[in-house]
Amino acid sequence: MYLGDLRSCSLESLDFITNRQKRILQKFGFESVYDLITYFPFRYEDRKEIASIEKSLLWQKPVTTIVRVIEHDHIYFQNKRHPKIIIQDDTMRAALVGFHRPYLSKNLRIGEKYWIYAQFTMKYNEIQTSSFEFEPYQENVQPKNFGRIFPIYRLPGELSLKEFHTILKKLLDSYLPQMEDEIPVYAVTGHKLLTKEEAYREIHFPTDQKLLYRARLRIAYEEIFGIQIAIQLKRRAVSSYTKPARYQKREKTDALIGELPFALTNDQKKAMEEIFHDLCSPHPMHRLLQGDVGAGKTVVAFFAMLLAAENHHQAALLAPTESLAFQHYENLVRMVKDRVDVALLTSSTTLAERKNILARLKSGDIALIVGTHALLQPDVVFSDLTTVVFDEQHKFGVEQRIALAKKGNHPDMLVMTATPIPRTIALTLYGDLDISIIRQKPSDRLPVRTHWIRPSEYHQMREFIRKQLEQGRQAFFVYPVIEASEKLELKSLEHYYHQIREWFKPFSAVLLHGKMSTEDKMVSLESFRSGRAPILVSTLVIEVGIDVPNATVMVIESAERFGLSQLHQLRGRVGRGRHQSFCFLVTEEDITPEGKERMEIMCRTEDGFEIAEADFKQRGPGEILGVRQSGLPELKVANLYDHRFLAMCTEDARRIISYDPQLTLPKHQGIVQGILRFLPLDYLRSG
Ligand code: ADP
Ligand code: MG
């Protein structure tokens, strides 16, 4: 059995988990035994070293110590009596204060010895602690929760750490011994990795720091090795498929690009040539177009699509939101005028219109189509789809990429992302894709001036924005409402919206949020885009893509509630035209240190790479790059900044696939059964 098999092993069948525990665990998102075994501690307490009360005071850190109970006392607090246990170790006396723990004096008996884990401080003229853990001390008996490294998990409030430890221990004992290793034995021994069983035991309940380190190393290896095997297979599949020659002509496309009201940047030109080269190559294109917000990725994508049209094929562009799809559609139509048939398909396309579009798509009358997920429906059929483009690729899963690709015959694929990914990381996570980067922004851009606004400066900011409006500029106000959330939050958004209208009279403002009907959204967006309403109040829905060059002000309320990448994306909505733009990050006076760090980074730099790197460090790359959605194994342990380690895993996978490309050797069956079986094989095996 492989670890991955435990995904189909539900919690229901386990008799050592109570129904109450099952309910709590399921509510927290654990569905299978796999989910539990791969849920790692977020930190550990080293309770191995035995220290003293004195050391705890000195280091200002919690310690494990062995104490004897001397005396039972009590204190009064809020009219209640609480036990106070006087203890002593080799160094000094101290008090354990048990707020709301009336039974403490029964459990800590005078004269007996106990293990204690606590941080002691000097308070009210005595050395004490009110947060501590204990266990009876017995000569030559290994304690349960002391004398070892103690794992701490993030858990739902209703479930105690102790309960979780018990459950996990049972799971590890019953499943780990049957686990087969998916990594070939020679790699495990060659790199001196821990075995599967050792690694999973040690990461949960480490024997010592060194073994914990090695457990993490082994699991990190699994993660990266798994991704690399998948990627190398994909690469092989792509390069062994030969597509029919599809492209000869580009004059019309070049002419359309030449009519643009601006000159392309060198990076845009280079990306276009790379794409053209891929399109003409005998193998399908799999290219990632990376470029910061506002770098001008869209025209590059249009170039690829127009080439398909010029050579009598079809191209589709998939956008994550309706407003973005609409904007792309408009821009594309504006660019081709009436020389190419372009269609827009979203979930709000009327039935009659949809029918018409589908018919003309099937017959090949429509060359280019822009849309949302609606494009993925099975009844959307093309006559000759050769180019597919995904905007904001991290919003889409592998399944969706496959669904669209299947509508063509090994189409050329371009995926776009505004998250600047450091090169080594990109090679690790997107090694199946060739990469084009637009680094240079259009040269007419001025850097955005970013200010962190505390309540005392709010008024001044308002005055300033009014002046911008008077000069004919436009402003975004972003209010943090979680899209899926309650009426209450929407109420406060509407309240905010009314306030903005009040403040900036006579300038009109429109509202945009995810709960509005598509039609209302379009109306709002159109009024803002056309400038009729110079103010747009919205939620995060504008994060992706909206392009209004005349907008020069971005106000982000409660900015500390957003992640760095989101803030960067939001700021990217301004600074797109020739006027100086401003971004105001509004927070309370007091915010968390991490929040403060985010504000400072935003004020200091506009460099997407630097911001992404800081964001990776705060939140972990998995969450940002949407690794969860990519279908690849999640990265829970691997450090994507450890270049040598990444190179080692990559090289191992490359060697294996090159001398056993079909993975038929017995020693590689672990890879086939234990890794590949849980990946979207359809995708990996197709060119
Ligand atoms: P993103 O990379 O964020 O998708 P867009 O493609 O939406 O960026 O481009 C942002 C804006 O810059 C658009 O208004 C676009 O027309 C404009 N633009 C693109 N390329 C250039 C260029 N070379 N010079 C000037 N403006 C450009
Ligand atoms: Mg874009």
Q: What would the pLDDT profile of 215-261 be if each residue is shown by its tens digit?
A: 999 999 998 898 888 888 888 888 888 999 999 899 999 999 999 99
Residue 634 has pLDDT above 70, yes or no: no
- Residue ranges of domains in the chain, CATH in brackets: 49-147 (2.40.50.140), 251-438 (3.40.50.300), 449-619 (3.40.50.300)
pLDDT band, very low/low/confident/very high, at 601 (cuts 50, 70, 90): very high
Q: What would the pLDDT profile of 562-571 be if each residue is shown by its tens digit?
A: 888 889 989 9
Q: What would the pLDDT profile of 452-479 be if each residue is shown by its tens digit?
A: 999 999 999 999 999 999 999 999 999 9
pTM equals 0.74
Structure-token pair, residue 119: 């941080």
Structure-token pair, residue 601: 């980074």
The label of the residue with tokens 């436009």 reads: 474
Considering every ligand atom, which ligand is closest to the CA of 573? 1
**Ligand 1 center–CA 265 separation, angstroms:** 10
Q: What angle do CA 463, 469, 472 make, to 5 degrees?
A: 150
Sheet containing 368-371: give its strands across: 342-345, 368-371, 314-318, 385-390, 412-417, 286-291, 434-438
Whether the CB-CB separation of 293 and 362 falls below 8 Å is answered with no
Q: What would the pLDDT profile of 533-560 be if each residue is shown by its tens digit?
A: 999 999 876 655 578 999 999 999 999 9
Structure-token pair, residue 50: 């035995």
Strand extents, DSSP E, 248-384 = 286-291, 314-318, 342-345, 368-371
Considering every ligand atom, which ligand is closest to the CA of 324? 2
Higher confidence at residue 425 or residue 247? 247
**Which residue CA neighbors atom 17 of ligand 1 most closely?**
296
368/334 Cα distance (integer angstroms): 13
- The ligand 1 site (C-beta within 6 Å) comprises 262, 264-265, 268, 291, 293-299, 418, 442, 444, 547, 549, 576
**Ligand 1 atom nearest to CA at 549:** 14
Nearest to 23 by CA among 31, 15, 6: 31
Residue 678 has pLDDT above 90, yes or no: no
Burial (Cβ within 10 Å: 0-12, 13-18, ≥19) of residue 220:
buried
Residue 638 has pLDDT above 60, yes or no: yes
**Ligand 2 center–CA 293 separation, angstroms:** 7
**Ligand 2 center–CA 324 separation, angstroms:** 8
Residue 485 has pLDDT above 80, yes or no: no
628/281 Cα distance (integer angstroms): 31
**Which residue CA neighbors atom 12 of ligand 1 most closely?**
296
Average pLDDT rounded to a whole number, residues 101-130? 92
Alpha-carbon Rg of the chain, whole angstroms? Answer: 30
* 260, 269, 298, 305, best to mutate for ligand 1 pocket (most atoms within 8 Å of CB): 298
**Which residue CA neighbors atom 19 of ligand 1 most closely?**
296
Considering every ligand atom, which ligand is closest to the CA of 297? 1
Percentage with pLDDT > 90 across the chain: 62
Q: What would the pLDDT profile of 6-42 be if each residue is shown by its tens digit?
A: 999 999 989 999 999 999 999 998 999 999 999 999 8
Average pLDDT rounded to a whole number, residues 322-347? 93
Average pLDDT rounded to a whole number, residues 299-310? 97
Nearest to 192 by CA among 176, 220, 167, 214: 214
Average pLDDT of every residue of the chain: 89
